[in-house]
Homo-oligomer: A and B are copies of this chain.
Amino acid sequence: MDHKEMLEMLNGVKEGAISPDDALTRLKTAPFEDIGYAKIDNHRGIRQGVPEVIYGMGKTAGQICGIVDRMLENGAKDIIVTRLSEEAAASLEKQCRLEYHPIPKFGIVNRDSVRDKTGSIIVASGGTSDMAVCEEAALTAEALGNQVTRLYDVGVAGLHRLLSHLEILASARVVIAVAGMEGALPSVIGGLVSCPVIAVPTSVGYGANLGGIAALLSMLNSCASGVSVVNIDNGFGAGFLASRINQMEGVK
């Protein structure tokens, strides 16, 4: 309820159209549904422009199915389920229309096919091994209605692979730069483009990569401006943020 709606409701109370008790109820009604193990945020679509996303890890197949069920009853489309195991995907498929991508363990329920793809997001990666994280980012951005270009295996140890795509990079509204090991890709891209760069460290590597911490620290210390960082392996977060930025209206 925003400023204007609240004033209208109070005027309704004044004019007797709304009883104080009803007004109290409306002031207190939470915009979510409580199903015991979860509180489903039905207004998020209104508040943030995107329906609630389900983070599948640590939830049972039954819990995921239950949450999806209620969201479908509320008419939700393009429901994203990340870190969805193949087992849970199999359960979910029996109950609803699921598009499932096994490499990033990524599902979309009740896909809304008519949605247009706009703008330009580039997902660049350092190596083939980072592909699962890249695909989580790319599929998220596509599910949210963005045009996505994949630019994989352009790591800094063979710069010519990256430099031969400068024109593609220059056309991006947002770049998602995914890298494990030394995590240098976002710094190099950050020096080449003039759009925001979202850096995604991956846990790819061994030894002193410390499960992705090495790449994370490298990206946080990037000497290039215009770079920000999300959590290790958080392809979804990068795709979601890139969508927000890509779909911005023009500044006045």
A191 touches B159 (CB 8 A): yes
A206 touches B232 (CB 8 A): yes
B251 touches A126 (CB 8 A): no
Chain B residues in 8 Å Cβ range of A157: 187-188, 190-191, 222-225
Which residues of A line the B interface, CB within 8 A? Answer: 2-3, 6-7, 10-11, 13-14, 16, 19-21, 23-24, 27-32, 36-39, 41, 43-44, 47-50, 53, 55, 57-59, 63, 118-119, 126-129, 131, 152-161, 163-164, 167, 170, 173, 180-184, 187-188, 190-196, 198, 201, 203-234, 236-238, 240-241, 244-252
Residue in B37, B127, B167, B206 whose beta carbon sits within 8 Å of that of A153 in the complex: B37
A30/B184 contact (C-beta < 8 A), A13-B13, A173-B251, A231-B221 known: no
Query: Which of A20, A126, A213, A250: most chain B Cβ within 10 A?
Result: A20
A48 touches B217 (CB 8 A): no
A228/B248 contact (C-beta < 8 A), A208-B220, A209-B221, A217-B217 known: no
A218 touches B223 (CB 8 A): no
Chain B residues in 8 Å Cβ range of A244: 194-196, 226
Show 30 A/B contacts (Cβ-Cβ < 8 Å), sorted by A.
A7-B20, A11-B20, A13-B20, A14-B14, A31-B160, A37-B153, A38-B153, A41-B158, A48-B225, A55-B127, A57-B129, A59-B129, A119-B251, A157-B188, A173-B248, A173-B251, A181-B221, A182-B184, A182-B221, A183-B184, A183-B221, A184-B187, A184-B223, A207-B212, A208-B216, A210-B217, A220-B230, A225-B236, A225-B240, A248-B250
